[in-house]
Every structure is written in structure tokens, then in C-alpha cells.
């Protein structure tokens, strides 16, 4: 991929960065305005863009940036309510070359995300289990 | 020596950042600044560690920002829907987007979601940008120091620009500073 003069990245990467930055800033605005339904869709779209960016950066040798885009993707998916995707991406980011002060922060986000995932997934299972005998009775 | 003056309309941001969703920042800027000033609003920008051809040897300049009637109408509506704290943060982003385009060239800003907050970084230089706003002039110095520390804890290990704006009746002020990653305690680690 040819790199544009005066930029850190080739054109295709640059364009994807611009596109997802616009989506993230829009999602942030809708969240601030309390328009959570619209914001969630935008966070999911932004998460998808970040997820695509990360391996492109890996392929260019920008491994640290790739890991940080995975963190951003995880954050976007978390805000979209897709905790499974978020947890996978935090795990992926932790496998990358993070700076020493960033790693504990990401580990904390990962733990919080797993706890949230466990709460939402297993609570609904236990609720169904509790409701089942009542329905049969 | 009289400081240089940079004059612009806040609506210029549409053209300066075509790939960015700038409208809420523009409207928030008018919602906040319009409480204290009539257009053009004047900002005293104090720079440290910012070396550009435009600035030369100057360490301060005046930023004069105007806006349109149409934006005033939108600002009135936004004031009723957005929390005051968010309005001030968005207004500061508008000022920062003007400055990074006119004073330093950071190219298309790359926004990432990082622990519930947005982080900005350049796509042409290895620089991150930290932005914040306040409505208290007395708080400006403390907030600026806090943001320098935050910027220098960036996950890239890159140098940083920090822009903190105070919107207030005593006169709007901006602290615009540049910092080397080597200043960071994390760089010594």
C-alpha cells in the first residue's frame, strides 16, 4: 500500500481512520445527549471499523497502535452492549505489545467486562431456571 | 509587542475538518461562549513548547472567533438538552480543532475510545492531543497540569499537545502547550 506523503499511514488506512473518527465523535455526542439507542448502533459501527484497522496497522508494523485500536474497539463494543466482542478484543489487546503503564489499565477493563458479561449472561440463565418450575406448576 | 491576531468563524470548522462530525462542537462553543461574549469573542492564547512557523518567537496570540445567527438558534436548543459540563468540554474541542488546524498541523485527527473517554491523536505526527474546558479562570492552571499528566500517560509513548480553555466573564483564556514524552514519569520506567 503506498503511503501518502506527510502522513503516518497509507491512504486506505487514513480513510478508514477518518471514517471511524467521524462515527466515534457522533456516538459520543449522542451518548452525551442521552440518545442511547442511536449511540449504541454507532458504537457498534465504530467498533467494527476499529477491529478492521487493528490488523491493517499490524501489517504495517505498527503493533502498539494496533493493540490500542483493539482496546478502542473493545471500548466501543462495550458501549454498544456487545460484551462478548469487547472481552475478546481486550484479550487480543493484552496479547499485544502494550506499554507497562497501559497494561494494568487494560487488565482492569478486561476484568470489569468479564464480570459484567458473567452478570448479564448467568443472571438471565438463573432467572429462566427460577421461572421454569413456576411456569410448570 | 502587540500579540498576533488569528480571526475566524467557528463555522469554518466544517471546512477545516470535513471528515469530522463537528456540528455539536460548533454549537456547544456558541452555547458556552455566547453566555459571556458577543461575536467576535476574543481568547488570549498562551503557548509553551509550541514551535511553529506561524507563531514564530511569539508566546501568546489573540484568537477572535465569530459565529452566525443560525448557530445561535441551535445553541439555544442545545443548552436545554446537553449537560453544562459536556457543553463546556465540547466548546473546548471546537477551540482546539481551530488551533490545531491553524497553528500546528496535525492532519486528520484520529479519535479513539479509551476507557470511556475520547482520545485524539495526529495522523501526520507522533503526537496526541488532550483537550479540556472550564468556566473558571481560577481552575485553568490546575486543570492544565492535570491534563498534561493525562496526556503524558498516553498509551503510545508519543509527545503531546495540551489545550485547555477557560470560558469566563473575566476574559476567555487558552493554555496551549507542547510536551515531550521524555518528560513523562512513564518514560523513565
- pLDDT tens per residue across all 189 residues of chain B: 778 899 999 999 999 988 788 999 999 999 999 999 999 999 999 999 998 888 888 899 999 999 999 999 999 999 999 999 999 999 999 999 999 988 998 988 899 887 666 679 998 999 999 999 999 999 999 999 999 999 998 999 999 999 999 999 999 999 999 999 987 887 765
Residue A137: what pLDDT?
41
A32 touches chain B (CB under 8 A): yes
Residue A7: what pLDDT?
81
Cβ-based contacts under 8 A for chains A and B: 92
Alpha carbons A68 and B155: distance in angstroms, whole number: 7
CA distance A120 to chain B (A): 20
Alpha carbons A108 and B115: distance in angstroms, whole number: 10
Q: What is the pLDDT of residues A33-78, one digit of tens each?
A: 889 999 999 999 999 999 999 999 999 999 999 999 999 999 999 9
Alpha carbons A112 and A118: distance in angstroms, whole number: 10
- A29 compared with B116, residue with greater pLDDT: A29
**pLDDT at A2 exceeding the cut of 60:** no
Residue B138: what pLDDT?
96
Q: Which residues contact A120 (CB under 8 A, 6 or more apart)?
A: A83
Check CB contact under 8 Å for A105 and B156: no
* Range(s) of the domain holding residue B11: 4-188
- The C-alpha cell of A134 is what? 413456576
Give residue A1's pLDDT band: very low, low, confident or very high (50, 70, 90): very low
Total structural domains within chain B: 1
Residue B18: what pLDDT?
84
Burial of B122 (0-12, 13-18, 19+ CB in 10 A): buried
Cβ atoms of A96 and A64 within 8 Å: the answer is: yes
Tell me the torsion sign for CA atoms B97, B99, B104, B105. Answer: positive
Alpha carbons B79 and B67: distance in angstroms, whole number: 16
- Over the range B16-53, which residues count as b (16 or more CB within 10 Å of their CB) and which as e? ebeebbbbbbbbbbbbbbbeebebbbebebbbebbeee
A36 touches chain B (CB under 8 A): no
Fold category of A11-136 in CATH: 1.25.40
Amino acid at each position: 500500500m503506498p503511503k501518502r506523503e506527510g502522513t503516518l499511514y497509507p491512504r486506505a488506512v487514513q480513510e478508514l481512520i477518518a471514517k471511524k473518527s467521524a462515527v466515534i465523535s457522533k456516538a459520543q455526542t449522542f451518548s452525551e445527549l442521552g440518545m442511547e439507542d442511536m449511540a449504541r448502533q454507532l458504537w457498534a459501527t465504530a467498533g467494527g471499523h476499529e477491529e478492521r484497522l487493528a490488523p491493517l496497522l499490524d501489517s504495517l508494523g505498527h503493533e502498539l497502535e494496533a493493540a490500542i485500536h483493539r482496546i478502542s474497539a473493545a471500548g466501543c463494543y462495550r458501549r454498544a452492549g456487545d460484551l462478548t466482542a469487547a472481552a475478546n478484543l481486550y484479550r487480543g489487546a493484552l496479547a499485544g505489545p502494550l506499554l507497562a503503564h497501559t497494561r494494568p489499565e487494560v487488565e482492569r477493563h478486561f476484568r470489569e467486562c468479564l464480570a459484567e458479561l458473567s452478570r448479564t449472561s448467568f443472571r438471565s440463565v438463573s432467572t429462566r431456571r427460577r421461572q421454569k418450575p413456576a411456569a410448570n406448576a | 509587542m502587540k500579540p498576533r491576531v488569528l480571526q475566524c468563524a467557528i463555522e469554518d470548522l466544517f471546512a477545516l475538518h470535513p471528515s469530522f462530525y463537528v456540528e455539536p462542537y460548533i454549537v456547544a462553543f456558541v452555547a458556552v461562549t455566547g453566555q459571556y461574549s458577543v461575536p467576535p469573542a476574543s481568547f488570549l492564547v498562551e503557548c509553551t513548547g509550541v514551535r511553529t512557523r506561524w507563531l514564530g518567537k511569539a508566546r501568546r496570540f489573540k484568537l477572535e472567533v465569530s459565529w452566525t445567527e443560525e448557530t445561535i438558534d441551535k445553541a439555544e436548543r442545545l443548552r436545554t438538552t446537553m449537560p453544562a459540563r459536556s457543553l463546556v468540554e465540547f466548546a473546548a474541542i471546537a477551540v482546539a480543532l481551530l488551533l490545531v488546524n491553524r497553528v500546528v498541523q496535525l492532519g486528520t485527527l484520529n479519535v479513539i475510545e479509551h476507557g470511556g473517554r475520547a482520545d485524539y491523536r495526529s495522523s501526520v505526527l507522533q503526537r496526541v492531543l488532550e483537550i479540556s474546558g472550564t468556566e473558571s479562570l481560577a481552575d485553568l492552571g490546575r486543570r492544565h497540569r492535570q491534563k498534561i499528566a493525562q496526556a503524558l500517560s498516553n498509551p503510545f509513548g508519543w509527545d503531546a499537545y495540551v489545550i485547555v480553555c477557560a470560558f469566563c466573564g473575566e476574559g476567555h483564556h487558552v493554555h496551549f502547550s507542547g510536551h515531550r514524552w521524555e518528560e513523562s514519569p512513564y518514560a523513565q520506567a
